[in-house]
Amino acid sequence: MKHKLNIILSTVLFVFIWSCKPSKEDRQSNTSIEKINKVDVPVFNGDSAYLFVKKQVDFGKRVPNTAPHILCGNYLYSTLKSYSEEVIVQEFIGTSFDKKALKLRNIVTSFNPKASKRIILAAHWDTRPFADQEVKEQSQLKPIDGANDGASGVGVLLEFARVISIAKEKPQVGIDIILFDGEDYGQPDFLKLPQQENTWCLGSQYWAANKHKANYQAYYGILLDMVGGKNAKFAMDGTSRQFAPEIQKSVWNTANSIGYSQYFIYQNSEQIIDDHLYVNQIAKIPMIDIIEYEPSDGSYFANTWHTLDDNLQNIDKNSLKAVGQTLLQVLYQE
Ligand code: AHN
Ligand code: ZN
């Protein structure tokens, strides 16, 4: 009798324990819920990004076919190589508006190179040979420091690469950081030459027609240009809105959700020519631009744009941080 009771009790206990065990489906959904809740987004360091901006400016003006340009390009390559195994340099000759042969290099760094879902982060690393927005004519012929126009976007991407390289948890997507050369050699108005098409963005035009890898494809791209200004405002430019409206909304929403509503404003602005135009038009990869907008200045851009005041004194670490932290948040959510 006692024996029989024992068997009944242990059977009841066994069935009870078995029924408490989560089913296979439950276990799977539990892990995916944990994954969604547990995205530990690394911290972007604005001070470090600022030092990367300063380092570039300290080389001197990074105008193509000059020593500072070559030395800075070498520095960008070796720095990125310290953060990722795969850095590909695309060397090519670009032709300027005045028919000069420019020795240019696009620098492409890949993280998680085997992943098929890839996202591009880009910025240009060259600086403008003419401060053509200066009022005084003698000043217009001088090259600019390009602390904001050039170095700021690259500084954010170097810090992004550093953070990813030491992060315990990596983003699931593949990431390609592309540093375009020859963006800022566009024909200046003061020469009063006949209008010419496509004199800006030589590096992105080249890359879009000759990708760094055969059959390269990306899900989408984000371009950074002039992201280090004081009280910078990033509006929703017409070119990004035309080619990649959903990505633009989603990046703005992410920035706003983590507290950067002062920077990422929900305001539509005009179409602009920048590297993203050629990536959209020629490579057919949807790419948006995060670029400072200053409506009161008439030129779209801030009042330091293409002037001798585009220097380190006008760089704000908080703007670099807002953009860099937003990028990390976007990439870890993909
Ligand atoms: C035009 O001025 C038409 N595009 C400017 C794009 C640019 C220059 N971004 C930085 N420097
Ligand atoms: Zn420029």
CB of residue 273 inside a 6 A radius of ligand 1: yes
What kind and span of H or E run contains 122? strand 118-124
CB of residue 180 inside a 6 A radius of ligand 1: no
pLDDT at 26: 41
Q: Encode pLDDT of 293-319 as tens digits.
A: 998 878 999 999 999 999 999 999 999
CA distance 7 to 276: 73
Ligand 2: centre distance to CA 128 (Å): 6
Cβ-based burial of 15 (10 A; exposed 0-12, middle 13-18, buried ≥19): exposed
- The SS3 assignment for 249 reads helix
Q: Encode pLDDT of 218-228 as tens digits.
A: 999 999 999 99
Instruction: Report residues of the chain scoring pLDDT below 70.
Output: 1-38
Ligand 2: centre distance to CA 310 (Å): 10
CB of residue 274 inside a 6 A radius of ligand 1: yes
pLDDT at 122: 99
CB of residue 132 inside a 6 A radius of ligand 1: no
Strands (E), the chain: 86-95, 101-111, 118-124, 174-180, 220-225, 234-236, 264-268, 287-291
Contacts of 216 (CB under 8 A, 6+ apart): none
Q: What is the 8-class DSSP label of residue 148? A: I
pLDDT at 20: 46
pLDDT at 39: 79
CA distance 180 to 149: 13
CA distance 270 to 14: 69
Instruction: Give nearest CA residue, ligand 1 atom 4.
Output: 273
- Domain residue limits, the chain: 3-333
Ligand 1: centre distance to CA 59 (Å): 22
Domain 3-333 has CATH 3.40.630.10: yes
Phi, psi of 133 (to 5 degrees): -95, 5
Q: Helices (H) and strands (E) in the chain — how many of each?
A: 11, 8
CB of residue 310 inside a 6 A radius of ligand 1: no
